[in-house]
Amino acid sequence: KQEVTQIPAALSVPEGENLVLNCSFTDSAIYNLQWFRQDPGKGLTSLLLIQSSQREQTSGRLNASLDKSSGRSTLYIAASQPGDSATYLCAVLTMDSNYQLIWGAGTKLIIKP
Amino acid sequence: ETGVTQTPRHLVMGMTNKKSLKCEQHLGHNAMYWYKQSAKKPLELMFVYNFKEQTENNSVPSRFSPECPNSSHLFLHLHTLQPEDSALYLCASSATARTIQETQYFGPGTRLLVL
């Protein structure tokens, strides 16, 4: 059974720093891996979707990588800003999950001005 | 602005009440989902509807009853809930339920408190 882990649960860094959020999964037989952002009082917003055949995806200051063999993904945020403060969730679409996303518990990120 | 709306945004109910959550998507999607999000826990998928047909029920207690009258609307009927049902209930939609190419779009959620 697929399990998705995100460590740390919370992270606080000064504005302007580059940072990396981690996501690990136990079953490498996946279709894709997705990163979402959740702001307080709001729903989830998809940031990046990496297909199993891809190694990375980029959007602006965000770069997500995928290493299926090791069961790991990272979300790199360059030149962090206070507006990046949110909870970041990782989810994988596993081949034996009947097309259901399996979610991590998230990393709560605080960017200090 | 998300194309998925949810009402109400906040709900407080007693264990003997009956209430309903509403979700509407304006994205032309054919699949809709209900998720439960409890503090510090991963999202739990509750129900999936694809082209108005329920395709998944992840062992959800019968006190939660979904309804999907058309591809744009999804309801979650609640009755005789327990305090442990207090959580954020999120609705999402996608083009279809069995896609590996596209993501899901989420509403802002209904924060439910059961007293």
Residue in B41, B100, B105 nearest the CB of A93? B100
Chain A contact probe: residue of B6, B34, B37, B43 with most A CBs at under 10 A = B43
The CA distance from A4 to the nearest CA of chain B, in Å, is 9
- For residue B40, which amino acid is it? K
C-beta of residue A102 within 8 angstroms of C-beta of residue A94 = yes
C-beta of residue A59 within 8 angstroms of C-beta of residue A113 = no
Residue with tokens 């129900």: B47
- B28-73 per-position pLDDT tens digit: 999 999 999 998 899 999 999 999 888 888 889 999 999 999 999 9
How many Cβ atoms are within 10 Å of A18's Cβ, its own excluded? 11
- A37-78 per-position pLDDT tens digit: 999 878 899 999 999 999 999 999 999 999 999 999 999 999
Cross-chain Cβ contact A42/B48 below 8 Å: no
Cross-chain Cβ contact A101/B107 below 8 Å: no
User: Which residues of chain B does A6 touch, with a Cβ-Cβ cutoff of 8 Å?
Assistant: none
Mean per-residue pLDDT of chain B? 93
DSSP three-state, residue B43? coil
Distance CA B14, CA A37 (A): 32
Cross-chain Cβ contact B42/A103 below 8 Å: yes
**Radius of gyration, alpha carbons of chain A:** 14
Please give the backbone phi and psi of residue B51, each rounded to the nearest 5 degrees, phi first.
Answer: 50, 45
